[in-house]
Amino acid sequence: MNNGPRKGGEQPVIAALRSSPGLEAIFQVHRNVRTGDADNAPAEFIANAEEQCDGDYVWLKVEPNGKSYAVAAGARGKPRTFQSK
């Protein structure tokens, strides 16, 4: 999710994403500081946890064959691999 600490990522959006069949994870550029932990992605999937931040990013790497891809929150985030469907 491309959001800011005070814009985007509202509770109804997070709820709709979580109810989407087949969605395996939500990654956020920023933690929404106006909501609580229940209305944000897990901490390891948020690139910028604090409102005042260095502006880290969410990255995605697709394998050349297109069969899988990896996503991580931040330059030092641990990549999570997904299978393409």
Q: What is the CA radius of gyration of the chain?
A: 13
Q: Which two tokens stand for residue 17?
A: 């994403």
* pLDDT for the residue numbered 35: 93
Tell me the average pLDDT across 2-15. Answer: 93
Q: Is the pLDDT of residue 85 over 90?
A: no
**Bridge partners of 73?**
58
* pLDDT for the residue numbered 51: 95
* pLDDT for the residue numbered 64: 98
User: pTM, whole model, 2 decimals?
Assistant: 0.90
Q: Distance from CA of residue 79 to its chain's centroid?
A: 12
Q: What pLDDT, in 10s, does the model give residues 22-73? A: 999 999 999 999 999 999 999 999 999 999 999 999 999 999 999 999 999 9
